[in-house]
Structure 1
Amino acid sequence: MRYTADLRAEVTEAFKTRYGAPPEVLVRAPGRVNLIGEHTDYNDGFVLPMALERAAWLALRARPDDTVTVRSLELGDEVSFRLSALERGEGWAEYLKGSAWALQEDGFHLRGFEGVLRSDVPLGAGLSSSAALELATMRAFAEVSGFPWEPKRMARLAQRTENAWVGAQTGIMDQLISACGEAGRALLIDCRSLETEAVALPAGTAVVIMDTATRHKHVESGYNDRRRQCEEAAAFFGVRALRDVSLADFRAREEALAAACGDEVRRRARHVVSENARTLAAAAAMRAGDAPALGRLMDESHASMQGDFEISSSELDLMVSLARQQPGCLGARMTGGGFAGCAVALVREADAPALVAAVSQRYAAESGLEGAFYLSEGAAGASAERVA
């Protein structure tokens, strides 16, 4: 189940084939799985993601001009653009161009580069393939342009890429965990202060990521609608963001919120307020090594996303239900922006292989889709190495 593809070697050899010489630099930036804390990041709340061993890898060398040329191995496509003439378009190149735009808007002087890209973070699966690409691009620019790598600053700029260039109103979580992940740990992130705390999984447990083989696009989904509804609820409470509303405050005024803004807005706000509380409780359970408590909170989170936030799907619900029926499963939930993509289960480590075998077979039989299943330990954030 553990994914062990050597993308470092793959992009190095592909670069040699494409350009006739070894690359000067190798950069990588990981995807992520969120254990709990969904749609809380853009509400200034708390999230608990883990950087994945799956990552975007980029082999590159600097150019003497302002041209960027990158070939994607998995897409079989090559894009090229000038840093002095950035124009919006469509497709995966927008994450590269948007990253360059955000850096230049923030005052960085960029140099061009040419490279070969390979990512094993599945596209549209809710595992932050876009954030991995953005952080890999920014790490590449840091190397060829000679500016210091500041992970949290780069995460903010990558979020700006997503919001202002690509048009998806995502929060900071995906970019921050890709920039700042720690090996063997998840990170409790305060999305307002950007303070982080590394926390380990309870002993004897494993995280199983379960890909439903369904896909989404944030810009075309209800993601931006949910964000607008959360902002409407925050305005009703007179606060900067729903992070500032306690469960007690919400319960005291939820009927008035429904009367003023509608029941749908009330339910969206209830998810965010309760999810913040669950995320803090989950981090406390991890500190205490309390695996059953962590699993229960994951179950509660899925119910909230399914009912109040309405971002699950029949395939995600099926995958979660099948996982929960297996021995050793402590809890399961959908993960990511929603509507499609992946679920995640907390499992007794010894029971993980049997769970994957059983759920894989039953999911295919009941959905007609071939799911993908894999384990991942916490990975380090975006990094670079010079090639000798």
Structure 2
Amino acid sequence: MDVLPSPFAVWIGGVLSEKTQSLAVMKKESTPRQRVLEAFRDVYKENPQFLVRAPGRVNLIGEHTDYNDGFVLPIALNRATWIALSPHDTQEVHLKSLDFNESVTVPLHQKLNQDRGWQEYLKGVVNIMSREKMMLKGWHGVVAGDVPIGAGLSSSASLELALAKAFAVAGDWKWEPQKMARLCQKAENEWVGMNCGIMDQTISALGQKGHALFLDCRSLETKQVALPDSLDVAVMDTGTRHKLVDSAYNERRSQCEEAAAFFEVVALRDLSLEKLLASEKELDPLVFRRARHVVCENDRVLNFINALEGGMHEKAGQLMNESHASLRNDFEVSSEALDLITNCARQAPGCYGARMTGGGFGGCGVALVDSSKSKEFSEAMETGYKASGGKNGMIYICSASEGAEALKP
């Protein structure tokens, strides 16, 4: 990872772009791809047979709607989890994590015990695939990634889909991306204990270069939405982290389910704003605000797509600003750092709009930026965030990448 010695490291596509190279001198380090290939040869004294990757994601708009059967619009990031691997004949997986400097051996056909830590994602994937009677072949490998952990960019889904892809290539399966996304979601829900929706795994499986993915989280229907070359997506890492499994995420989900039960609908996806407003006095004020966010956010997703397709960049940015205000005031999942970084972004040159992204309570914001002003935007963020009291921030000007894939080692 190339790090700039400043309060904001400015990235473009995983390496510093020409238009920002004047900001600082880069420190060279290996990419995750290079790291897993080199470490595999060191650990196993052979070349890997396969190399797989699965991306993290940033959600442009549609936050906390996925588990309410709503609409989302993420992109697959050009930051990913990488695994170099070779199949073997033993009924187990041996995996070394370079990011955690730990190794784990997981049997494929024995009862597994739940614990805590990164290895639980591997055990969860093994558990759910075993229940589905999938043919699991043993393999040994090395894993590393450059999706920031706990930043709201779905490092967990990236790891899950990379593991699923590893099992697919080791066992020579036909890759079914939507099926794999659903199984990985189940692994995170049932084994890890994170009651997430389907969005993160779906975009990691189905991402397409140069496109955002519109996902109907009820029907699982998808639509690729082209991102115009005139727009850049800036991911702004506050440097603060959440612990989502132990946070108020599951509490928010319960409050949404309470609202749905009050209106006798399957999910808040089925509730109109008019009906919600008509019953405001009958609802607990907190539950009302949670529901209002979800109902209005679904509308914002649809309007955002229309704005993008119509070239109305200012309108798209306005919808992002409205989304952040709703997440801050109604859903109460923002934080001081997220409010600060998105406010700085809105004042920077070329910014159409900005919002927090991910589960909240820390992590990242996302901004829609005029691509001709990315340099000015980045420089303004570097000085503005620090001047406003922000610390340890980083900004990534990102491109939309392909979903989970196997590549030549």
Per the TM superposition, whether the score is higher than 0.5 is yes
Deviation at 1:78, TM superposition (A): 1.3
Q: Deviations over 1:86-135 (max 9, x none)?
A: 22111000011101111111121211111011100000000000000000
Deviation at 1:368, TM superposition (A): 4.9
CA distance in 1, matches of 2:281, 2:302: 26
CA distance in 2, matches of 1:386, 1:324: 42
Choose which of 366, 386, 390 in structure 2 pairs with 1:364: 386
What amino acid is aligned across from residue 396 of structure 2 in structure 1? Y
Contact 1:312 1:334 in 2 (8 A): yes
Secondary structure of 1:319's counterpart equals: helix
CA distance in 2, matches of 1:33, 1:155: 16
What amino acid is aligned across from residue 57 of structure 2 in structure 1? R
Contact 2:207 2:402 in 1 (8 A): yes
The equivalent residue for 1:49 is 74
Deviation at 1:281, TM superposition (A): 0.7
The equivalent residue for 1:23 is 48
Structure 1 residue 379 corresponds to structure 2 residue 401: yes
The equivalent residue for 2:7 is none
CA distance in 1, matches of 2:51, 2:116: 26
Contact 2:337 2:390 in 1 (8 A): no
The equivalent residue for 1:213 is 239
Deviation at 1:188, TM superposition (A): 0.6
CA RMSD of aligned residues (A): 1.2
Contact 2:349 2:380 in 1 (8 A): no
Contact 1:30 1:379 in 2 (8 A): yes
Deviation at 1:62, TM superposition (A): 0.8
Contact 1:135 1:158 in 2 (8 A): yes
Choose which of 265, 269, 276 in structure 1 pairs with 2:291: 269
Secondary structure of 2:188's counterpart equals: helix
CA distance in 2, matches of 1:177, 1:367: 34
CA distance in 2, matches of 1:271, 1:202: 28
Q: Deviations over 1:234-275 (max 9, x none)?
A: 00111110001122222222332x2xxx10000000000000
Q: Which moved more, 1:13-22 or 1:169-178?
A: 13-22
Structure 1 residue 67 corresponds to structure 2 residue 92: yes
CA distance in 2, matches of 1:232, 1:337: 19
Secondary structure of 2:149's counterpart equals: coil
Q: Deviations over 1:315-359 (max 9, x none)?
A: 000000001111211000000000010000011112212222221
**1:238-253 alignment runs, 5 A limit:** 238-253=264-279
Secondary structure of 2:142's counterpart equals: strand
Aligned residues: 383
Contact 2:63 2:359 in 1 (8 A): yes
CA distance in 2, matches of 1:367, 1:172: 36
Q: Deviations over 1:31-87 (max 9, x none)?
A: 000000000000000000000000000000112111111111122111112122322
Structure 1 residue 114 corresponds to structure 2 residue 140: yes
Secondary structure of 1:367's counterpart equals: coil
Runs of at least 5 residues in structure 1 that lack an aligned partner in the other structure: none
Contact 2:235 2:364 in 1 (8 A): yes
Deviation at 1:217, TM superposition (A): 1.5
Deviation at 1:203, TM superposition (A): 4.3
Structure 1 vs Structure 2: percent identity of aligned residues? 52
Choose which of 177, 180, 185 in structure 2 pairs with 1:151: 177
Runs of at least 5 residues in structure 2 that lack an aligned partner in the other structure: 1-10, 16-29
CA distance in 1, matches of 2:408, 2:145: 19
Secondary structure of 2:109's counterpart equals: coil
CA distance in 1, matches of 2:266, 2:173: 34
CA distance in 2, matches of 1:303, 1:34: 16
Q: Which moved more, 1:181-190 or 1:197-206?
A: 197-206
CA distance in 1, matches of 2:121, 2:348: 39
The equivalent residue for 2:362 is 340
CA distance in 2, matches of 1:83, 1:267: 45
Structure 1 residue 204 corresponds to structure 2 residue 230: yes
CA distance in 1, matches of 2:349, 2:384: 15
Structure 1 residue 170 corresponds to structure 2 residue 196: yes
Distance 1:368 1:322, change over 3 A: closer
